């Protein structure tokens, strides 16, 4: 005797009629599957600082660009969707614990409370260098050869290696808000030397129509350095995916992927 195969609706009715408890379990499981929120790591959003940090974070004709975004895209696991969100207060995104994973390239040295965030392995080393005028080059040999100088700095930035110089009054700190303005002031002789992260100084000079590398001298010896890492907000479940991120970072570093990216900038 042939037996017809019931449709889903007839089958469910039969289950409910004969086994009501099992039917309830099935309905709960189906609802949970359909209502499942995005799993941690389905997508990660880079919170880009709209005021810019060349060459890492830039907005050109309304489009987000920069080395940090290139590094971000090659560092996330392959099954993760990468997104960009432009924010004027980008670090604030790292303090949220909502339904989105946010990240930025940051340094442990820059954050007041590093335990608030999840951190990746180091990605890129950032050097702080002394820049002087090309017609009056100055090598950095320690605090002593900076005595009596007016040193251009970016307002609100800290420079631990020369902080004691400013505190003692043996050198003067002159603050401005813009890297471009600081390089212009240095070229015009309004400050004796200036402190920059090396990538930023070189990018601005190479991109400028009014300046070139012959106008400046970058000291060979650095004043200090820090490691850039991905800082993530403490999204539930994302910590479990950090080993995947770190594995990709280590592989990229070994293969020279990050060096190749930075060489383009």
Mean pLDDT of 130-156: 96
pLDDT at 194 over 60: yes
Would you say 112 and 158 are in contact if contact means Cβ atoms under 8 Å apart?
A: no
Q: Measured between alpha carbons, how far is 113 from 115 in angstroms, rounded to an integer?
A: 5
pLDDT score at 99: 82
The average pLDDT across 221-244 equals: 96
Summarised one tens digit per residue, pLDDT across range 58-109 is 999 999 999 999 999 999 999 999 999 999 999 999 999 878 999 999 999 9
pTM for the model stands at: 0.81
The pLDDT value recorded for residue 98 is: 78
Q: Has residue 152 got a pLDDT over 80?
A: yes
Tokens of 105: 């390239």
Give CA–CA dist 93/45, Å, rounded: 10
Mean pLDDT, rounded, for 185-214: 96
Q: Across the strands, what pairs with 174?
A: 152
Across the strands, what pairs with 105? 230
As a whole number, the mean pLDDT across the chain is 87
What integer pLDDT is reported at residue 58 of this predicted model? 97
Domains of the chain: 43-125+228-263 (3.40.190.10), 126-225 (3.40.190.10)
Q: What is the spatial distance between Cα 147 and Cα 164, in angstroms, rounded to a whole number?
A: 11
At 19 the pLDDT is: 52
Q: What is the mean pLDDT of residues 12-32?
A: 40
Q: Quick one: average pLDDT of 234-241?
A: 94
User: What pLDDT was estimated at residue 90?
Assistant: 96
């Amino acid at each position: 005797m042939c037996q017809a195969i019931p449709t889903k609706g007839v089958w469910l009715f039969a289950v409910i009629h004969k086994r009501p408890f099992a039917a309830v379990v099935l309905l709960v499981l189906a609802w949970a599957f359909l209502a499942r929120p995005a799993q941690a790591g389905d997508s990660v959003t880079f919170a880009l600082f709209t005021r810019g940090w060349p060459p890492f974070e830039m907005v050109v004709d309304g489009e987000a660009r920069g080395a940090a975004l290139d590094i971000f895209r090659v560092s996330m696991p392959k099954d993760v969707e990468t997104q960009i969100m432009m924010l004027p207060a980008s670090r604030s995104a790292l303090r949220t614990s909502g339904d989105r994973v946010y990240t930025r390239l940051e340094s442990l040295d820059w954050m007041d409370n590093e335990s608030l965030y999840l951190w990746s392995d180091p990605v890129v080393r950032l050097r702080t260098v002394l820049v002087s005028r090309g017609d009056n080059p100055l090598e950095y040999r320690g605090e002593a050869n900076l005595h009596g100088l007016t040193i251009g700095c970016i307002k609100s930035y800290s420079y631990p290696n020369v902080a004691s110089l400013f505190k003692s009054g043996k050198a003067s700190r002159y603050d401005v808000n813009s890297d471009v303005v600081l390089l212009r002031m240095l070229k015009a002789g309004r400050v004796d030397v200036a402190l920059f992260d090396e990538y930023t100084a070189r990018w601005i000079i190479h991109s400028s129509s009014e300046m070139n590398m012959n106008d400046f001298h970058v000291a060979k010896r650095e004043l200090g350095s820090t490691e850039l890492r991905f800082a993530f907000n403490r999204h539930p479940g994302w910590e479990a995916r950090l080993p995947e991120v770190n594995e990709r970072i280590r592989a990229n570093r070994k293969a020279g992927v990050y060096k190749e990216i930075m060489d383009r900038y």
